[in-house]
Amino acid sequence: MNNSLIVENQKSQQEAAPQPRTTKRPRDYQQISLYKDINPLDWEDWHWQMKHRIRGKEELQQVIKLSAEEESGIKNASGRLSVAITPYWATLMDPEDPNCPIRRQAVPVAAESAVSPHEMVDPCAEDRDSPAPHLVHRYPDRVLLLATDHCAMYCRHCTRRRLVGERAQEEVKSVSRFDAAIEYIKSNRKVRDVLISGGDPFTLEDELLEGLIQKIRAISHVEFLRLGTRVPVTLPQRITEKLVNTLKKYSPIWVSIHFNHPKEITKRCKIACDMLSDGGMPLGSQTVLLKGINDRPYIMKKLMHELLQIRVRPYYIYQCDPVRGTQHFRTPVAAGINIMEKLRGYTSGYAVPTYVIDGPGGGGKIPVGPNYILSQAKGKYVLRNYKGKIYAYLE
C-alpha cells in the first residue's frame, strides 16, 4: 500500500459503519494546533514522523497540558533517557489527564530521577553475557542482537535505558558494525535462533535492515529469525509496502510487538499489523506490567482480546525490571499472578500469555504464576482448576 492508498483506506474506514470494537479513534491530528496544517501525505511518511518527534517542553506544551510532575520530569530527563514522542503517539495522549496510560509511557515525571533500593543500571546483566559487541548470548540455542540504540518513542519504563536514547551513539550507517556479532553466530553452530531487537530495528533504513537480515539468513544453522519492535504501536507509518516486501524475501520472520494498553490498538496500528500478517509474518505481543497502566485484570484481559482481533498472539507479560528510575511503574509480583489467575480458564487459551520475571543478574526469563499443583506424591497429583475445584490425577 502506498501512502495515498493508506490515506484513502483510512478515509473509507472512517465512513464505514459500524466501528469495529477493537479500534479506538485517537484525536484527529488536524485538531491539534501544532499539526493542523500538515499534509496527510507528510503525516503518513515515517521519516516525517521521525523528524518531527516531540523532544522538549515547548512542543509538548502545545499538545498536552503539562503537570508540575511532568515539567520537572522533562527538565531532569536531559542527560538521561531522552524524550522522543512521535506526532502519531501524541494524538493518542489525553491532553487533560496526566494519568492517561499513553501519556505516562512517554512523558517523564519527577519520580524517574529517584533511584530505589534493588534498582540497577543493567538489571538483566546483559552486558556481562555479551561475547561480541551488540550481542547477548544467554541461552544455549539463541542470541539477542541489539541492532540499534534508537527507538521511535522512548518508553519511560525502558529496561535498556543504559543503552538507548540518541545521546553519544550515532546512527547505524553500515552493517559492518555487526561483523563481530555475525562471526560469533557463524562460529557457534548451536545458535539456531536470532532475535533482532534494540532499540528498535524498524528505525533502521530498509537497506540496512535488509543487509543485516541477509547476513544472518546466510548462516545455515540459524533456522529461526525474529524481530522485536514497538514501531507498529508508536510509528505505524513505518510499516510500508516496501518494508513488508523486503522482509517477505527472508520468510519466515516472526515479529514480537511491545503492546501495553488497549488504547494503543487504533485503526492505524491495525493497518500496520495487518500488513505484516498479510506479508506472512506471525505476530506475538510482549507487555510490561505497569502500575496504574495495565495492572487491573480487566484492562489486561481487554488488551489480550483486542490483540487476538488484530492477529497478534499474546506471548509474554513481563514483571517490570528493577532498572533505575522505574519504581513508580513497578507492581508487586502478586498483581501479575492475580492477572494470570483471572485469565486462565476465563478466556481463550490463545489470550493467555506467560508471565515472566527476567531473573535479576542474568537468570533469563522465569515463568511465574498461580500454582495449580496442590500436592504430588507416589504417582498422584492433586490439582486445582481455575475455579478452585480439586482433582486427583493418577499416573
Q: Contact at 8 Å (CB) between 98 and 67?
A: yes
Rounded to a whole number of angstroms, the minimum distance from the CB of residue 138 to ligand PLP is 4
Rounded to a whole number of angstroms, the minimum distance from the CB of residue 362 to ligand PLP is 9
Rounded to a whole number of angstroms, the minimum distance from the CB of residue 261 to ligand PLP is 21
**Footprint on residues 113-152 left by ligand PLP (CB under 6 A):** 136, 138-139, 142, 144
Indicate the residue among 366 and 392 with the shorter CB distance to ligand PLP. Answer: 366
Q: Contact at 8 Å (CB) between 222 and 238?
A: no
Query: Does 167 participate in catalysis according to the annotation?
Result: no
Parallel/antiparallel/unpaired status of strands 283-288 and 135-139: unpaired
Q: Contact at 8 Å (CB) between 54 and 84?
A: yes
Give the separation between CA 258 and CA 261, rounded to whole angstroms: 10
Indicate the residue among 86 and 229 with the shorter CB distance to ligand PLP. Answer: 229
Rounded to a whole number of angstroms, the minimum distance from the CB of residue 263 to ligand PLP is 26
Would you give the binding string for ligand PLP spanning residues 307-346, x where CB under 6 A is met? ----------------------------------------
Which residues contact residue 336 at a Cβ distance below 8 angstroms, ignoring those fewer than 6 apart?
289, 317, 319, 355, 368
Q: 100: how many CB neighbours lie within 10 A of its CB?
A: 19
Indicate the residue among 144 and 227 with the shorter CB distance to ligand PLP. Answer: 144
Which residues contact residue 50 at a Cβ distance below 8 angstroms, ignoring those fewer than 6 apart?
86, 152, 203, 235
Rounded to a whole number of angstroms, the minimum distance from the CB of residue 365 to ligand PLP is 5
Identity of the residue numbered 30: Q
Give the separation between CA 369 and CA 346, rounded to whole angstroms: 15
Active-site residue among 160, 268, 270, 330?
160
Residue 314: burial class (beta carbons within 10 Å; 0-12, 13-18, 19+): buried
Indicate the residue among 54 and 144 with the shorter CB distance to ligand PLP. Answer: 144
Indicate the residue among 52 and 138 with the shorter CB distance to ligand PLP. Answer: 138
Q: Contact at 8 Å (CB) between 162 and 122?
A: yes
Q: Which of 195, 222, 281, 357 binds ligand PLP (CB under 6 A)?
A: 195
Would you give the binding string for ligand PLP spanning residues 350-379, x where CB under 6 A is met? ---------------x--------------
Q: Which residues bind ligand PLP (CB under 6 A)?
A: 136, 138-139, 142, 144, 195, 365
**Residues with catalytic roles:** 138-139, 142, 151, 155, 158, 160, 321, 358, 365
